[in-house]
Amino acid sequence: MMTPKLSRLAAALAATLAVNAQAQDAAAVAAPAMTQAEVEIGKKIYFERCAGCHGVLRKGATGKNLEPHWSRKVADGSTQEGGTLKLGTSRLEKIIALGTEGGMVNYDDILTKDEINIMARYIQRTPDVPPEFGLKDMQASWKLLVPVDQRPKKQMSKVNLKNVFAITLRDTGKLALVDGDTKNIWQVLDTGYAVHISRLSASGRYVYTVGRDGLVTLIDLWYETPTTVATVKLGADARSVDTSKFKGYEDKYLIGGTYWPPQYSIMDGETLKPIKIVSTRGNTVDGEYHPEPRVASIVSSMIKPEWVVNVKETGQIMLVDYSDIKNLKTTTIESAKFLHDGGWDASKRYFLVAANASHKIAAVDTKTGKLAALVDTKKIPHPGRGANFMHPQFGPVWATGHLGDAVITLISTPSEDPKNAKFKQHNWKVVQELKTNGAGNLFVKTHPKSSNLWADMPMNPERENAESVYVYDLKDLNKAPVKIDVAKDSGLPQTKALRRATHPEYNQAGDEVWISLWGGKTDQSAIVVYDDKTLKLKKVITDPRIVTPTGKFNVYNTQHDIY
């Protein structure tokens, strides 16, 4: 028998469900008709192209909210209403085809006219919610291809492993391993769909690569040629992995963060055997419940057995202590929305992460487990991992570029070296903004042995900017940067699609910079290598297998977080 209180609750729940059902029906009724085949095409394209920015539930993050109907309270207390149904098919077609000034890229050279029309209709329907993915699903997906005791006992090749580059071949779902000394392609391996990033084990022996389909690939560099020894699925959509790097835990664990379902997973570092999954659903820093708080960047601390896990939509930064996985302890630090990418300061005590919707950089003190600062910056900071160097006037600084503004921001970071005590007054302040030729930067990079700062602009709408990189002289930051036309230097013929010059990465010695020339899916792309001192072209690595190269991860620099 139900108590009166319970029946009141049941009635309220039934009423809420009825309202939700009505809202869903309204969306279904009002949304333009689609055949089942068109819905399937829409679902596939949405997952592959749109979910990364707009979210699976379409609540918006880097991209706008794309629910059929939304309403929200604004500062003056009134309610704002909107949604894709209100925009309608022809307006949505225009936005998808041409992009927006808010940063959405144009899809008219990626999707056909029919596909654009399907997408404009598809996003007026109630979002399709993919299934959850639990530990049992993860265990079922796990493939241990070569057990640890059957792997090489020592390095079998003569390749200088520390200078190998793991290079994302984005649209082929492959990873190229290139010998940094000879610049020969050592091996090309299958990885996950639209492979995203690679990280190195603490020992430098294993490469972990994660695809947007959530597939993690464990590659052993000790073989004569690199070999995949295990794979596992983290979920339906993922972006980040890192290993356990604290002394005594080297190569022991791997952590992976997913966009869908919103959670992080802990695995055995040498086999990928799934150990634990932890959900990140919860409240945002503004106090609203969020059903899809996705895991953005993850980094492994060197000073504690901890990972820094940045949860995008909630703005919460979690310090996950992996010393006792069964009784997992986490410290949750409030920062700002929406957390994305970031990197260590020079001392590796502070992790600085972009809160891109708030135009801020959040800095976590991993020693005290507290937020050290929230620094206001220009629009949409996008550091990649950032860049650390000694500013001639302000001492140690960390740099970030911006997707949304024409500057590189330099933030003063603390130092325990008594020589730097005089710079303390500047800590956590923006000490300089270097002018760039426009917005659309994704990555900046330097190296402790270099006096240059390299910045790309692949998302700038002008061809001449997107296909070039700019180099700043750290000894004289008031000097205009040197422009390097990477597309021209590659010697490849111009194509209709932009050939975006992106992700500068140093070699181990810190005297060469490798740039990806990221062309269209059916065009020849290249890796273009420059001498860091003279800025002269050193080598163009091009080969039919080099298709859509993006991120490059030098073994030594990635292993030791050198940037």
Residues marked active site are found at 50, 53-54, 104, 340, 382
User: Which pair of tokens denotes residue 294?
Assistant: 């996705």
H or E stretch covering 4 = helix 4-30
Among 67, 341, 345, 512, binds ligand DHE (CB under 6 A): 341
Give the nearest distance from C-beta 442 to ligand DHE in angstroms: 6
Binding segment (CB under 6 A) for ligand DHE, from list 25-33, 64-72, 291-299, 482-490:
291-299
Q: What would the two tokens of residue 185 be?
A: 């392609």
Considering the complex, what minimum distance in angstroms separates the CB of residue 551 from ligand DHE?
Answer: 3
Measured from the CB atom, the residue of 168 and 227 that comes closer to ligand DHE is 168
Which 16-55 positions form the footprint of ligand DHE (CB under 6 A)? Answer: 52-53
**Contact partners, residue 371, CB within 8 Å, separation at least 6:** 317, 333, 334, 335, 362, 363, 364, 365
Q: Minimum CB separation from ligand DHE for residue 264, in Å?
A: 11
**Which residues in 377-404 are b (16+ Cβ under 10 Å) and which e?**
bbebbbbbbbbbbbbeebbbbbbbbbbb
Footprint of ligand DHE on 371-400 (CB under 6 A): 384-385
Which structure tokens are listed for 394?
């302000």
How many CB atoms are closer than 10 A to CB 477?
18
Q: Is 244 in the site for ligand DHE (CB under 6 A)?
A: no
Binding mask 93-122 toward ligand DHE (x if CB under 6 A, else -) reads: ------------------------------
**89 or 524, CB closer to ligand DHE?**
524
Which residue type does 66 have?
L
Structure tokens at 222: 């000790």
Residue among 144 and 523 whose Cβ is closer to ligand DHE: 523
Q: Of residues 170, 290, 349, 447, which one binds ligand DHE by CB under 6 A? A: 170
Q: Judging by beta carbons within 10 Å of its beta carbon (0-12, 13-18, 19+), is residue 5 exposed, middle or buried?
A: exposed
Q: How far is it, in rounded angstroms, from Cα 372 to Cα 319?
A: 14
Among 245, 340, 360, 447, binds ligand DHE (CB under 6 A): 340
Closer CB to ligand DHE, residue 256 or residue 481? 256
Shorter beta-carbon distance to ligand DHE: residue 231 or 240: 240
**At closest approach, how far in Å is the CB of 503 from ligand DHE?**
5
CA–CA distance from 224 to each of 184, 208, 220, 534, 552 (Å)?
15, 18, 10, 35, 21
Q: Does 446 bind ligand DHE (CB under 6 A)?
A: no
Cα–Cα nearest to 450, from 417, 472, 481, 420? 472
Nearer to ligand DHE, 42 or 551 (CB): 551
CB closer to ligand DHE out of 159 and 166? 166
- Environment class of residue 291 by beta-carbon count within 10 Å: exposed (0-12), middle (13-18) or buried (19+)? middle
- Choices 104-112, 150-158, 294-302, 351-359; region in contact with ligand DHE by CB under 6 A: 294-302
User: Contact at 8 Å (CB) between 544 and 524?
Assistant: yes
The reply on whether position 442 binds ligand DHE by CB under 6 A is yes
Among 31, 92, 120, 197, binds ligand DHE (CB under 6 A): 197
Among 124, 209, 258, 297, binds ligand DHE (CB under 6 A): 297
Residue 308 near ligand DHE by CB under 6 A:
no
Determine if residue 305 is left, alpha or beta; phi over 0 gives left, psi from -120 to 50 gives alpha, anything else beta. Answer: beta
Q: Which is nearer to ligand DHE, 296 or 477 (CB)?
A: 296
The smaller minimum CB distance to ligand DHE, of residues 121 and 196, is found at 196
Q: Which parts of 481-540 interact with ligand DHE (CB under 6 A)?
A: 503
- Residue 367: CB atoms within 10 A of its CB come to 13
Residue 551 binding ligand DHE, by CB under 6 A = yes
First and final C-alpha spacing in the chain: 65
Listed ranges 226-234, 266-274, 296-304, 346-354: which one lies at the site for ligand DHE (CB under 6 A): 296-304
Among 278, 258, 272, which Cα is nearest to 326's? 278
559 binds ligand DHE (CB under 6 A): no
Residue 261 makes contact with ligand DHE by CB under 6 A: no
Of the candidate residues 187, 465, 550, 554, the single one contacting ligand DHE (CB under 6 A): 550
Exposed, middle or buried, 263 (CB in 10 Å: 0-12/13-18/19+)?
buried
Taking the complex as a whole, the smallest distance from the CB of residue 92 to ligand DHE amounts, in Å, to 19
- Based on the shown chain and the rule CB under 6 A, indicate whether residue 240 belongs to the binding site for ligand DHE: yes
Show the tokens assigned to 489.
């230097």
Counting contacts by CB under 6 A, is residue 557 touching ligand DHE? no
Q: How far is the CB of 276 from ligand DHE (least distance, A)?
A: 19
Within 13 Å, how many C-alpha atoms sit on residue 207's CB side? 34
Is 168 a binding residue for ligand DHE by CB under 6 A? The answer is yes
Spatial separation of the C-alpha atoms in residues 256 and 208, rounded to whole Å: 10
Say how far apart CA 453 and CA 399 lie, in whole Å.
9
Q: Are 433 and 409 in contact (CB under 8 A)?
A: yes
Minimum gap (Å) between residue 309 Cβ and ligand DHE: 9
Size of the site for ligand DHE (CB under 6 A): 20
Please, which residues have CB within 8 angstroms of residue 103's CB and are 6 or more apart in sequence?
62, 380, 403, 404, 459
Sequence-ordered list of residues with C-beta below 8 angstroms from that of 361, at least 6 positions apart, any chain: 342, 352, 353, 354, 355, 373, 374, 375, 377, 381, 383, 400, 409, 411
**Would you say 110 or 509 has its CB closer to ligand DHE?**
110
| Interface segment toward ligand DHE; rule CB under 6 A; list 31-39, 79-87, 293-301, 428-436 | 293-301
Binding site for ligand DHE (CB under 6 A): 52-53, 62, 168, 170, 196-197, 239-240, 296-298, 340-341, 384-385, 442, 503, 550-551
